Amino acid sequence: MRQLLALFITFGLTSFGFGQDLFGNDKEAYVLMPSQTIASGVVRSYQISHSGRLIFYRQVTGLKFDELQQYDSPEQGKWFVYDRTSKSTTALNFPVPISNIMTFGDDRTVYFSGAGEGNPEGFLNLSTGQATPLDKGEARIIYYGDKAYAPFLLGVNKAKDTLGIFYPNGKIATAKLDPAISIGFSIEGNTQNLIIYGYHLEKGAKKASNLIQYKVTLNLSLMTVNYALMDEALDKKFRQEREDEYRRPFTTQSSGDMAYIQLDVPVKVPTANTSRSPGQKTQAPDPKPEESGLIPKSAKLGPAEGRIEFSNQSDIVVYQDAGSLLFRVIQPLDPAAARKLSLDMVKKKLLSKAKQVGLGFLIYGSDNDEVLPGAEGWENKLMPYMKNRDLMNDFNYTFKGGDLANVEDPSGTELGFIVGPGGRAVVYLDGHAKWVPNP
């Protein structure tokens, strides 16, 4: 009987669902769902498609353990794609050894790079498995097909007078450019037009402050280019949109061999209002609203290794553990519901802790003629029955010792309690525990 009780005492309380973890704050809350395996074994490279549906990875086989640390040769690595919707894995067959791949926004095309000098580059159609070689010459690629409405490469030749579209079927379309205007990167667009950032320096100017910026619009049907001066407001808007596109709401931190995920909340330093009339006091910044502190700020991702990648939609996180590739779904949760859930979790944890301490006392009593220890030094006397001293932290022993045979109402006599948010986890002499709200 004593062994069974001791086993129950050392049993830890899990979170609200097996493998699920809650994190966030009073304004945003998320649930990190249980991990799912994409590939076991050793995975060296991986990336998530722009839609988040496909996960590409290169798996290594046939290597000894001591070779893995130095291994980075693409010749032996086999590429696969995992489809989250169908939960299926498909091997990718490239015509040459591959060093890198880039996924297009259409979820149908992969642009691959050869492993060595002289090896061709090209496109792979995921539906048919057909590879199409590509010779882009000396073109500088400025867009890699990440938009679903524009699944192609966009490049500028060395003379800066020609813009080229490299389609996955091998076709190339070109448009004439003003060589005086340098083409930077694509910003936005649709199936009819692609808007590109352009600029040039004033004649004789050497500083960026003399930069003239352009909104360059490429008509995808007519392959014509239109230039328009970009004012400061429009430039700021485009740059902010591009920055927002690549910003992720989450960040990760490591502690030992464990990785944790939490909200990436920008730190804003409040400033006082310095514009005031003579004699007027400086207006203090608004105080930061207090948070309940119930929702955990971070959630344990796992013993992650290497890169930790989030999808563009920030709805999944992909990571490695012992070489294997895993992912976890991130689901938003209403903050009010999260606070209630967190409070319930705290209550259950404290109740479990109080009950385990109470069982420890009862085991002690069964070995000591049904007499419980006094208030002094009870922790040391109880320790042999607890296995874990931390269980007694914050426990308030209120019974203060004595013969249990003299207690008329064990179920109504308080043994001790642990203080929690808005109440106490109370354990009674008969071993049961309940939550007692503050009056």
> Mind listing the pLDDT tens digit for each residue in 83-130?
999 999 999 998 888 888 999 999 999 999 876 665 678 999 999 999
Are the C-beta atoms of 307 and 264 separated by less than 8 Å? no
Q: What angle do CA 316, 321, 323 make, to 5 degrees?
A: 115
Asked whether the predicted pLDDT for residue 76 surpasses 70, the reply is no
Closest CA to 166 of 102, 237, 88: 102
Which of the residue ranges 165-174, 194-203, 277-286 would you say has the lowest mean pLDDT?
Answer: 277-286
Which of the residue ranges 285-289, 308-312, 322-326 would you say has the lowest mean pLDDT?
Answer: 285-289
- Domain residue spans in the chain? 2-8+338-437, 35-129, 136-246
Of the pLDDT bands very low, low, confident and very high (cuts 50, 70, 90), residue 186 is confident
Mean pLDDT in residue range 376-402: 89
- Whole-number pLDDT of residue 269: 46
Question: Which residue type, as a one-letter code, is found at position 190?
Answer: N
End-to-end CA distance of the chain: 38
- Whole-number pLDDT of residue 284: 47
Of the pLDDT bands very low, low, confident and very high (cuts 50, 70, 90), residue 266 is low
Backbone angles phi, psi at 301, to 5 degrees: -80, -45
Closest CA to 401 of 434, 356, 370, 431: 370
Looking at CATH, the fold of the domain delimited by 35-129 is given as Lipocalin (2.40.128)
> Mind listing the pLDDT tens digit for each residue in 383-392?
998 878 888 9
Which of the residue ranges 62-66, 395-399, 420-424 would you say has the lowest mean pLDDT?
Answer: 62-66
Are the C-beta atoms of 257 and 302 separated by less than 8 Å? no
Rounded distance between C-alpha atoms, residue 111 and residue 134, angstroms: 9
Of the pLDDT bands very low, low, confident and very high (cuts 50, 70, 90), residue 7 is very low
- Whole-number pLDDT of residue 9: 33
- Quote the mean pLDDT of the chain: 83
Give the CA-trace dihedral at 304, 308, 313, 314, to 10 degrees.
50
> Mind listing the pLDDT tens digit for each residue in 123-182?
999 999 999 999 888 899 999 999 999 999 999 999 999 999 999 999 999 999 999 999
- Whole-number pLDDT of residue 75: 47
* 386 against 12, higher pLDDT: 386
Which of the residue ranges 211-225, 235-249, 305-319 would you say has the lowest mean pLDDT?
Answer: 235-249
Mean pLDDT in residue range 366-375: 92
Q: What percent of the chain is modeled with pLDDT above 70?
A: 82
Where do the H-state alpha helices sit in 92-230? none
Asked whether the predicted pLDDT for residue 15 surpasses 50, the reply is no
Closest CA to 433 of 354, 380, 343, 344: 354
Q: Which residues contact 333 (CB under 8 A, 6 or more apart)?
A: 22, 24, 29, 30, 31, 341
Mean pLDDT in residue range 308-321: 92
Which of the residue ranges 40-44, 135-139, 281-285, 324-328 would you say has the lowest mean pLDDT?
Answer: 281-285
The first and second tokens of residue 371, run together, are: 């007499």
- Whole-number pLDDT of residue 275: 42
